[in-house]
Amino acid sequence: RLVRHFQDLSWPDQGVPTKPRGALSFLEQVNWAQSTILGSGPIVVHCSAGIGCTGTIIVIDILADTIPQECLDCDIDISKMIQMEQRQHSGMVQMEAQYKFVYTAVQ
């Protein structure tokens, strides 16, 4: 079985990047690779602890998929999306800076 590994070295441990462009480009690359590989399996996302940064990037990815499908001029409750992720895995999106980064990334 072929496993493709993508690593974002620009994301600081226990922090957030200064600008979301790098994280968004990284997600575009991962999603493009996922869509072009026939029979590709699930995507695994992990950071050093597996919760804060991981949850942040997962929520951004979900929102990036949701916004174009729903509409560009509609209300999407980002806080509710984060709470849904936290119910599935405690500790996702831990710090205020991570919340702010999610909001900045999806603007």
Terminal-to-terminal C-alpha distance of the chain? 38
- Which one is catalytic: 47, 53, 71, 74? 47
Both tokens of 15, joined, read: 């922090």
Question: Is there a catalytic annotation at residue 74?
Answer: no
pLDDT over threshold 90, residue 100: yes
pTM: 0.82
The reported pLDDT for the residue numbered 69 is 62
Angstrom distances, CA of residue 89 to CA of 46, 80, 86: 13, 14, 5
Judged against a pLDDT cut of 70, whether residue 16 lies above it is answered with yes
Domain ranges of the chain: 21-34+43-105
Query: For residue range 23-78, what is the model confidence (pLDDT) as tens digits?
Result: 999 999 988 888 887 667 778 888 777 778 888 898 999 888 877 666 667 778 88
